[in-house]
Amino acid sequence: MINFTLSKEQEAFRDYAHQVAVEEMRPIALECDRTEQIPESFFWNMQKRFWAGSAAQARAQGAERQENVFSMLSQEEMAWGDAALSTAIPGPGLAAPPILSQGTPEQQKRFLSIYMDGQLHWGALALTEPGIGSDVAGMSTTAVLDGDEWVINGHKHYITNGARADLVVTFATVDKSMGRAGIRPFVVPKGTPGLIVGRIEQKMGLRASQTAELIYENCRIPKDNLLAGRQTSQSSGFKAAMGTLDATRPMVGALAVGIARAAHEAACRWVKEELPAGYPALRRREIEDELEEIGQEIQMARFLVWRAAWMADQRIPNSKEASMCKAYAGALVMKATAAAVRITAPGENDETRQFIQKWFRDAKVFDIFEGTAQIQRLIIARRLFPQVDIP
Partner 1 sequence: MISFSPTEEQEEIRRLARSVASDELRPQARAAEKDGDIAAALMQTLTQTGLTTPFPEDYGGSGNIEAITYALIAEELGFGDGGLAMNVIGSMMGPLTVALAGNERQQSEYIVPFCGREGYKERGSLAFAERSGGYALADISATARREDRGYVINGTKRDVVHGAQSRPRVVLLRLEGTVGNAGLCAALLDDEALAGVHVRPETQKLGLQAAPSASYRFEHVMIPEAAMLGEPGNGGVVRAATLYLILRAGVACGMARAALEYAGKYAGERIAFGRPIVSYQGIAFMISEMAMKLDAARLLLWNAATHWDRGGADDALIHDAEAAHYQAVRIAKSATTDAVQILGGAGFMQDHPVEMWMRDAAAME
* Site residues, partner 1 (CB under 8 A): 1-7, 10, 64, 66, 69, 292-293, 296-297, 299-301, 303-304, 306-307, 310-311, 321, 324, 327-328, 374, 376-378, 380-381, 384-385, 387-391
DSSP symbols for 249-289: HHHHHHHHHHHHHHHHHHHHHHHHHTS-TTS-HHHHHHHHH
Residue 272, C-beta contacts closer than 8 angstroms, at least 6 positions apart: none
Helix (H) or strand (E) holding 160: strand 149-160
Q: Least distance in Å: CB of 122 to partner 1?
A: 30
**Residue 159 vs 339, nearer CB to partner 1:** 339
Residue 297 annotated among the catalytic residues of the structure: no
Q: Least distance in Å: CB of 273 to partner 1?
A: 21
Contact yes or no for 49/74 (Cβ under 8 A): no
**Residue 58 vs 204, nearer CB to partner 1:** 58
**Residue 65 vs 109, nearer CB to partner 1:** 65
- The CB density around residue 249, as the number of other CB atoms within 10 Å, is 27
Contact yes or no for 80/258 (Cβ under 8 A): yes
Beta bridge partners of 154: 216
Contact yes or no for 98/185 (Cβ under 8 A): yes
Q: Least distance in Å: CB of 288 to partner 1?
A: 12
Active site residue: 9, 213, 321, 370, which one? Answer: 370
Report the distance separating Cα 95 and Cα 201, nearest Å: 20
Report the distance separating Cα 325 and Cα 302, nearest Å: 8
**Residue 4 vs 351, nearer CB to partner 1:** 4
**Per-residue DSSP letter, 41:** H
Q: Least distance in Å: CB of 304 to partner 1?
A: 5
- CA torsion 49-51-54-55 (nearest 10°) is -120
120-140 residues labelled b (16+ CB within 10 A) or e (exposed): ebbbbbbbbbeeebeebbebe
Burial of 2 (0-12, 13-18, 19+ CB in 10 A): exposed
Q: Least distance in Å: CB of 377 to partner 1?
A: 4
Q: Least distance in Å: CB of 245 to partner 1?
A: 17
Catalytic residues: 370
